[in-house]
Chains A and B, each alone.
Chain A
Amino acid sequence: MNQKEKTLGVIADVSGVERDTIEPQMDLVADLGIDSPKALQLLVKLEDELGIEISDEEAARMETVDDILQVVAAT
């Protein structure tokens, strides 16, 4: 499984939304219901499962699924 697939898997796991229905343009809050506590789950799981480190600045800029994919691809 590549990084993108793993990332989408974590997003699906945390949001409870079916993996196959998640689209890059989806808004994390409005479309996937990722509030602050879920955002903490998401960030910790992304770092643990992908072995990456996401800065506060990068985390603050994450508004859509594509934002997450770009951050993960850049790390």
Chain B
Amino acid sequence: MYKSYNQIFIGFLLTIFHINIGPLQILPPFVGLLIMFFAIYRLYNISQIKDFRISYKLIAVAILLSLIYTIITFSYNILGNFYYYMASILPSIVYLLFIFYLINGSIKLFDNCWERNILLLRVFTVFHLLTLAISVVLISKFAFNILTLTSLLILINYLIVAYLLYFYRKIAKMDMLSE
């Protein structure tokens, strides 16, 4: 279990940090997602919690979308500005969903060992939905450069998820040691 959470944590970090050389991404997000996919799949096999099953299936979708978007970005914007930006919202929705089910499954797995889990997940969900809604509105107004305004919310989201995953990793480690 510790190994799974460790991989999920590393995978998550890899999805956050992007290293680009021109249009070419050295570390495309789907590498991190792939690591997370196998880790969550293993977690589901161990725990048989339904939420993990939903989560890894959603990650599979996210990997597919990530691959498509990597190719599209590499071969320039073929969809036109508006539709391209609007379509790029889609992976963010999938991202929200699989993180939600991952955290929700983890809460069940550790039997809600920390009450703030649920609250933090709520904050993440609300912030993420808010960020996406703002993004959609801003894209519609053609104010692409104001999209950076939403980056604060995204940052908070990343911190919440990273913190939660780190927390579960720690709990899983303690479980492993006690066994």
A and B assemble together: no
Residues of B within 8 A of A (CB): none
Residues of A within 8 A of B (CB): none
